[in-house]
Copies of this chain bind each other. A is one copy, B any other.
Amino acid sequence: MSITAAKGFEAGGGAIGIKPSGNPDVAILVTSSREAVPAAGVFTTNLATAAPVLVSKSHLADGKAAGVVLSSGNANAATGAAGRADAQRMCQLAGDALGVEASDFLVCSTGLIGYSMPMAVIEKGIPLVAGNLNGATAAADALLTTDTVRKEAVAAVGDSGAVVGGMAKGAAMLAPAMATMLAVLTTDANATHAVLQRALTDAVAKTFNQLCVDACTSTNDTVLILASGAADGPEITATEGSDYYALLDAVTVVCGSLARQMANDAEGATKVATIRVKGARTDREASLAARSVASSQLVQCSLNGEDPYWGRILSELGASGAFIDQESVTISYGEHVLCAEGIAAPHDAEAVATLMKAREIVITCDLALGYGEAEMICTDLSYAYIDENRGTS
């Protein structure tokens, strides 16, 4: 039930004909009260920003929203002024059907870049989905593109009685032809816009932003949260104190679960690797180093071949922009140290070969310079990734 686990929300989804396949392609979330409630968003930093992102940012300027309409099959990106009018029109259609101001609706789209939205089917379809709010499961299904499984998560906000729920569609590693990571969270905690924005920003930094498959940042990436306050819990107005941290924890748990589900659903991928960097001079340098290793095509090929070639890891650390002293670096695969003080370390090759056959692998790089730490999750580079992304048809 994910996005309706929190009290005060309704949702639904259906197939309106955006996707030629006839699969579900529009999802709607709306407050039960039809009133705008505190909301926050984190959006792509890509300057080729898609129309729905521009419209949602503008509608979130007052820190409130009453609903979100999401479509899959067409990204409404690189579509100019006409595309912005189409995104705005989608808010209008959903709002009109549900008795909400268009400016209180947010909009997300995912799919191919550079094609006009099929407005004829959207004009007909959005009112139909809005008129039949058939539940969060149908909404989560309508969000998917080439994802193989629905992605949902729920977490309690401490012992306040409130919960955070969320649904998402796959990140770049799943199907970059269809691009884009979208996630929508709801909570019935009673929090202000400023509190939600800070909690969401911090949670995204620790979760979705640590996923890396092809290092491509989509034109449409969006993560949203709406807070109904319907749980009658404590009012959370400051980004400190135990109530705030309980909310932050719940948002982080939901985002983390959704991010992990995305990695695990990577169709092309046979491996999910966690790259941990510690001992960097700063967290920022640790992050640079972890991202460099995680996004390396060479490292990803080695994972695909189940080859514990730590030399490539060391090379990526050295080229990452983070400072390293190569002769202090330790690299471990699972518990096995393969590189100590920058050179090959004696190890149980048979045990490492067994470890490399697992789907999930943890690689730890200790730079031994300071207290900076970071973690990234990546997948391997496989034939299937290429197949998925060779063409748009």
A contact residues vs B (CB 8 Å cutoff) = 45-49, 75, 77-80, 82-83, 112-115, 172, 176-177, 179, 214-219, 296-298, 301-302, 304-305, 307, 309-312, 314-319, 323-324, 326-327, 329, 339, 341-344, 381-383, 385-386, 388-392
Beyond the given A45-B319, A47-B326, A77-B315, please list 13 additional residue pairs across the A-B interface where CB-CB is below 8 A: A48-B342, A113-B311, A114-B310, A114-B344, A215-B297, A297-B381, A301-B386, A301-B390, A302-B390, A305-B389, A307-B391, A382-B386, A383-B383
CB distance from A378 to the nearest CB of B (A): 12
Report yes or no: A318 in contact with B219, Cβ–Cβ below 8 A.
Answer: yes
Report yes or no: A386 in contact with B383, Cβ–Cβ below 8 A.
Answer: yes
Report yes or no: B390 in contact with A307, Cβ–Cβ below 8 A.
Answer: yes
Residues of B within 8 A of A344 (CB): 78, 114-115
CA distance A271 to B203 in the complex (A): 41
Shortest 4 CB-CB contacts between residues of A and residues of B: A113-B311, A305-B390, A48-B318, A301-B389
Report yes or no: A342 in contact with B390, Cβ–Cβ below 8 A.
Answer: no
Report yes or no: B389 in contact with A296, Cβ–Cβ below 8 A.
Answer: no
Residues of B within 8 A of A319 (CB): 45-48, 216-217
Q: Of B49, B114, B310, which contacts A343 at CB under 8 A?
A: B114
Residues of B within 8 A of A382 (CB): 386
Residues of B within 8 A of A172 (CB): 298
Which chain B residue shows the least CB distance to A327? B80
Residues of B within 8 A of A323 (CB): 47
Which chain B residue shows the least CB distance to A326? B48
26 A-B contact pairs sorted by A residue (CB < 8 Å): A46-B318, A47-B317, A47-B326, A48-B329, A77-B314, A78-B311, A78-B326, A78-B342, A78-B344, A79-B343, A80-B327, A114-B309, A114-B311, A114-B339, A176-B301, A177-B309, A214-B296, A214-B297, A215-B297, A216-B319, A219-B311, A219-B315, A301-B388, A301-B389, A301-B390, A304-B386
Residues of B within 8 A of A327 (CB): 80
CA distance A268 to B49 in the complex (A): 33
CA distance A315 to B111 in the complex (A): 13
CA distance A78 to B317 in the complex (A): 12
Residues of B within 8 A of A309 (CB): 113-114, 177, 391-392
Report yes or no: B326 in contact with A49, Cβ–Cβ below 8 A.
Answer: yes
Report yes or no: A305 in contact with B391, Cβ–Cβ below 8 A.
Answer: yes
Of A114, A177, A298, most B-chain CB atoms within 10 Å: A114
Report yes or no: A343 in contact with B385, Cβ–Cβ below 8 A.
Answer: no
Residues of B within 8 A of A302 (CB): 389-391
CB distance from A372 to the nearest CB of B (A): 15
Residues of B within 8 A of A342 (CB): 48, 78, 80
CA distance A218 to B314 in the complex (A): 10
Q: With A219-B318, A323-B47 in contact, is A301–B385 under 8 Å at CB?
A: yes
